[in-house]
Amino acid sequence: MTVRVGGHLVRGAVVDDQSRCVHYRTDLDVVALRFRCCGEWYPCVHCHDEAVSHPRVVWEPEAADVHAALCGSCGTTMPIAQYRLSAACPACGAGFNPGCARHHALYFG
């Protein structure tokens, strides 16, 4: 399934219009991430890996200013560095799942 969030297409096993997916769908799971390898937005690494046939590539540390995080609540994009330090969206205040930080190495170098 694909949904549009703030003008961006979020792909994968998406279950609602705030970018929650079948893998992560709590009230706080409202972030989609743009993958370095394909430039596409997915709710999680599992959605990406299940949908594509190419290997996943993480963002380099030098890409900290790249807008690769998307708030599913308001559609605001954030640079990687800002997202990694945020507990909530800087634009709308929607809370982010603190458990996502455990998976940052799957997305960001």
pLDDT band at 1 (very low <50, low <70, confident <90, very high): confident
Please give the backbone phi and psi of residue 33, each rounded to the nearest 5 degrees, phi first.
-125, 140
Could you read off the pLDDT of 26-73 as tens digits, one per residue?
Answer: 999 999 999 999 999 999 999 999 999 999 999 999 999 999 999 999
Q: What is the pTM of this model?
A: 0.96
Distance from C-alpha of 91 to C-alpha of 73, rounded to nearest angstrom:
10
CA distances from 18 to 2, 27, 62, 92, 96 (A): 11, 10, 29, 13, 12
Residue 102's pLDDT band, with cuts at 50, 70 and 90, is: very high
- 88 neighbors 73 (Cβ within 8 angstroms): no
